[in-house]
Structure 1
Amino acid sequence: MSKALQKAKGFKKSKSGTYLSMAATALGAISVVKQIRKARAEHDTLRLIDATVSAASIVTGLAILYRELKRLGDDDVLLG
């Protein structure tokens, strides 16, 4: 495995990488909000359900990333 690939994998598990993942996930929420508004305006129940499931997925993803961030913070305390 190349050094660049190892470094990239390490970044993904770092605090900075976790914050970046949280930001990207949160940006996905903007799209879901637009989808919900459009579905409500068009009275499209199926699209509204789809958007709601997508929103639940985003919330779950953020919760998992938050848990990972807390775990990384706990590891830093143990190392120091």
Structure 2
Amino acid sequence: MSALTKAKGFKKSKTGTYLSIGTTAFGAINVCKQVKKARTEHDTLKLIDAAVSAAAIVTGIALLVRELKRLGDDDVLQG
């Protein structure tokens, strides 16, 4: 199995999906900074941009959680 094939398989694995959720959630920090800066500058357009970015992050995480469920991990949302 080549390294490229292993890398493509990792993306569809549970570990790869968890890593994707983490990196996507890490993007939320940048969005928070955008919101704070937009509010400080009273820039409505930047605030709208941050809101759209936040919506993209939420959607991305929802898609990844759905992928985890599809992979058979039932404990993702149980707390």
Regarding TM over 0.5, the answer is: yes
Counterpart residue type for residue 37 of structure 1: K
Tell me by how many angstroms 1:68 deviates.
0.2
Match of 1:46 in 2: 45
Give the deviation of 1:41 after TM superposition.
Answer: 1.1
| Max Rg structure | 1
RMSD: 1.1
Alignment of 1:19-58 (within 5 A): 19-58=18-57
**Structure 1 segments of 4 or more deviating over 6 A?**
none
Q: 1 or 2, which has the higher helix percentage?
A: 1
Query: Corresponding residue for 2:63?
Result: 64
Gaps in structure 1 of 5+ consecutive residues: 75-80
TM-score (normalised: structure 1)? 0.88
Query: What is the CA–CA distance in structure 1 between the aligned matches of 2:12 and 2:23, rounded to whole Å?
Result: 15
Instruction: Give me the whole-angstrom Cα distance separating, in 1, the residues matched to 2:40 and 2:50.
Output: 13
Using the TM superposition, give the Cα deviation of residue 46 of structure 1 relative to its aligned residue in structure 2, in angstroms.
0.3
Shift of 1:21: 0.3
Structure 2: stretches of 5+ with no match in the other structure:
74-79
Corresponding pairs, count: 73
Per the alignment, residue 77 of structure 2 pairs with: none
Give % identity.
74
In 2, Cα distance between equivalents of 1:30 and 1:51: 11
* TM-score, reference length from structure 2: 0.89
Shift of 1:73: 1.4
